[in-house]
Chains A and B, each alone.
Chain A
């Protein structure tokens, strides 16, 4: 097990190396010149050229890449072109709302989606099943920003029971934070809930036709034991896999949702950085998120062992 974890952590190195190349290339081939943006609309071309030179943007791409990589290896994500603040500092500052938002969305999604999937599978073909899965299709196909604005309108504006803008920070206490994160978490989680519920249902249906479920029924076990112990434990692996994959969906939702609800998190940081062609920030955010994604998937793989004794690392 420990050997496996070490091997997997070593594999993070080539994955991240590839990510750095992709990130670097994407930020350079995209339109827009950060030097031009920085000096403003009325600068002369000589001025722009001077700024480019000062930023090192006139050097060959390969040289730029390796100098950036060597910075990264020293733990230096660079300095924001726009705010002149170290990128790492910006990310750390924005991390709190994003982490809390993602965690809230993930926990509520799983807590809602798994029971829904189990119920739909247990009542497969019934009107309950059709209603739940219809809702899942709706949840899956509603864009995050549409749902976000709808929630903000109904609960924030019409009913006025939940805040629709901003984020108070943990220093103001857990309650206000949770209140401000409720609507964005629902908005982000909708897709995730739909995804997990459908996978749970499909996986449960497959398991419920297995011989050992018939054995459990022949033993006279209560229906709830059969569903929640005999079936769900076997159905868990595809669900956990989907949670890992869905994390990516969740993160892309974070970017949009933070803009809709004006939450100063990583998503907003990214969107602003993109508008400002703030390359170091874009690169830093993508790297950090990629790393988080890779590590989360390792955690997912390790979680399998909790559910299936046949999986050993």
Chain B
């Protein structure tokens, strides 16, 4: 596996061959297909991909929080530090959630309970997992609101979510998630629903908390700009599979998978003259994410890939290691490099 800056003997979270299936019978969909990754204490791992590629299902699968009876997860390994999550009973797992491993969701508008006060929503994890009394939990909540830079925290504690802006709500979500100092924090598109200036502030809060507490941060996003600002390593997902993994620097310098290249090409850049119009038209990837209930035998990206050849539509490419922990699943990975150098 990859050598990384924050070397640790045991990763904070290790996921091997995670599979998430939704539905049954003819409506069965493999949302996540044999996905493996790990993240060390103090490290930020970004999981990147388009909507519907299985990012959120990955997060929910790791926490064993998949919706309803129709969703199932499997993995060959799922460990939180030394703890084997696969061998735990639901009750033991519950005790870890919110305590050792926590999660932040995309929609701050709907992810907070509308009829409970901010105080209740921040302190309940402390009271459940740490058995703190009311006043101790309240004091801790004030500190947390301070840490996520919410002004006038005492007044905020008494308020309800509908009295807060989107950015404030996401700060409250973060405060609640980190209240027990989790080892791993999974943030599922934490800034997507917010406007750009607020996004930057929220990311800064997340990164500060990660640094102070030495948490491992799994940041799920579709925004490569966010990845560049925050993460050390990236997993790129497409149609439920990992198609590329690399250190952020390597990925941006030298993307191996045509899908990753496409994502990067679709990023707006200041001062760049792309396309041919006077204002430049941002390149886009043709086609859409494949429908997962009718999987094709070959590479899932082949129908949208300019480099695809006969083998790509016939056989799914395995993940191949390139230099220094950089892996990609593409038969034409070398052609990607050539094409890149030809174009640039």
**Which residues of A does B touch, CB under 8 Å?**
125, 209-212, 214-222, 225, 229-230, 233-234, 307-310
Nearest CB to that of A125 among chain B residues?
B69
> Apart from A125-B69, A220-B125, what 13 extra A-B contacts exist at CB < 8 Å?
A211-B105, A211-B107, A214-B65, A215-B112, A217-B65, A218-B98, A218-B103, A220-B96, A220-B98, A221-B94, A221-B128, A222-B128, A308-B115
- Which residues of A sit under 8 angstroms from B16, Cβ to Cβ? none
Known: A211-B105, A212-B114, A215-B111. A221 touches B124 (CB 8 A): yes
Total contacts A-B at CB 8 Å: 76
Mark each residue of chain B from 62 to 78: 1 if its CB lies under 8 Å from any CB of chain A, else 0: 01010101000000000
Q: Kindly identify which residue among B94, B98, B114, B129 contacts A308, using a CB–CB cutoff of 8 Å.
A: B114
Whether the Cβ atoms of B112 and A218 lie closer than 8 Å is no
B207 CB to closest chain A CB, in angstroms?
21
Across-interface contacts of A225 in B (CB, < 8 A): 124, 128
- A230 to B160 Cα, complex, angstroms: 14
CB proximity of B184 to chain A, nearest CB, Å:
12
Q: Which listed residue (B69, B95, B113, B128) contacts A215, Cβ 8 A?
A: B113
Closest 5 CB pairs of A and B: A220-B97, A220-B98, A219-B98, A211-B110, A212-B113
CB distance from B173 to the nearest CB of A (A): 7
A207 to B64, CA, bound (A): 20
Contact of B125 with A215 in the complex, beta carbons under 8 Å: no
**Which label, helix, strand, loop or mixed, suits the secondary structure of the A interface?**
helix
- Closest CB in chain A relative to B242 CB, distance in Å: 23
Q: Does B136 contact A (CB under 8 A)?
A: no
Out of B69, B99, B107, B115, which one reaches A307, CB within 8 Å?
B115
CB distance A310 to B113 under 8 Å? Answer: no
Contact A310–B162 (Cβ < 8 Å): yes
Q: Chain A residues near B105: list those with CB within 8 A.
A: 211, 214-215, 218
| Complex Cα–Cα for A233 and B162 (A) | 16
* A-chain residues with CB within 8 Å of residue B114 when the two chains form the complex: 212, 234, 308-310
B202 on the interface (CB 8 Å rule)?
no
Q: Are A310 and B102 interface neighbours, CB within 8 A?
A: no
Residues in B with CB closer than 8 Å to A222 are: 94, 128
Q: Which of B65, B113, B162 contacts A234 (CB 8 A)?
A: B113
CA distance A216 to B102 in the complex (A): 11
Q: Which of B67, B115, B129 sits near A220, CB closer than 8 Å?
A: B129
A309 to B128, CA, bound (A): 24
Question: Given A220-B95, A310-B162, are A211 and B111 neighbors across the interface (CB < 8 Å)?
Answer: yes
| Nearest neighbor of A126 in chain B, beta-carbon distance | B69
Do residues B110 and A218 form an inter-chain contact, with CB atoms below 8 A?
Answer: no
Chain B window 206-226, contacts with chain A (Cβ cutoff 8 Å), 1 for yes, 0 for no: 000000000000000000000
B306 within 8 A of A: no
Contacts of A214 in B (CB 8 A): 65, 67, 105, 111
CA distance A230 to B67 in the complex (A): 17
Which residues of chain B in 53-69 are interfacial with respect to chain A, using CB atoms and an 8 Å cutoff? 63, 65, 67, 69
Q: How far is the CA of A217 from the CA of B99 in the complex (A)?
A: 12
Task: Flag whether B142 is at the interface (Cβ < 8 A).
Answer: no
Q: Are A309 and B98 closer than 8 Å at their CB atoms? A: no
